[in-house]
Amino acid sequence: MIRIISGKFQGRRLKVPEGRNVRPTTNRVREALFGMLEHRIVWSEMAGLDLYAGSGALGLEALSRGTQSAVLVESSKRIAGILRHNVGVCGSQPETCRIIVDRAERWLPKYESPGIPSVVFLDPPYQDGAYVDILQMLATHPALLPGSWVVVESPNDLQCDPPSAFETVQSRIYGTIKIQLLHKPFPDGCK
């Protein structure tokens, strides 16, 4: 089991799906990842989007820290059942936390802007190879407003240069995992 690290759901224990292709972000890496974001964003002015939700730990952590809403996308119906359990453990309401059972690549074009910048978590199965395609979709998606952030978790040896629509703000390696923090900047002179 893993736990929510901080915020209104702090300490809640989440179930983790079983399987060879499942590798939930460890508490240590999640703590470091959210530490990278902590002084860069105002949680209450953001919406969360977890494109490969699994247990929902990343999206629920963001919601716990104060995002206005979270959308958790998971392609497996079996894993989505565990995700629903974890959302229930946190006591999230349907109006603030939506679960979408679909492939991220198929669902993302339907994503409608919440009207505020988003913090997007991108942690697909390592063998999936979805990084480049999803990042390109996010770079051109009208719902991903300036001021949005994308957190990419990948194998540390993956070469994945983000599209020019994003600035790489920080990149860190934790064992076999690389975390990249990307920002979609405001147009010049705007904020």
Q: Which amino acid, one-letter code, is at 65?
A: R
Residue 36, classed as helix, strand or coil, is: helix
pLDDT at site 102: 97
Please, are residues 165 and 140 in contact by the beta-carbon 8 Å criterion? Answer: yes
Tokens representing 136 are 């390109």
Pick the CATH number of 2-183 from 3.40.50.720, 3.40.50.150, 3.40.50.10860, 3.30.70.660: 3.40.50.150
pLDDT of res. 83: 94
By the 8 A CB rule, do 148 and 135 touch? no
CA pair distance 131, 126, nearest whole angstrom: 9
Rounded (10°) angle between helices 57-65 and 27-38: 40
Phi, then psi, of 151 in degrees rounded to 5: -105, 120
The rounded average pLDDT for each run of 10 residues, N- to C-terminus, in the chain (191 residues) is 92 85 75 92 95 94 96 94 95 88 95 91 78 91 94 87 92 92 82 58
Does the predicted model carry a pTM greater than 0.85? yes
- Report which DSSP code applies to 30: H
Q: Rounded CA gap, 95 and 70, in Å? A: 9
Alpha helices in 5-130 (DSSP H): 27-38, 57-65, 77-90, 104-107
CA distance 191 to 177: 33
Sign of CA dihedral 125, 52, 178, 33: negative
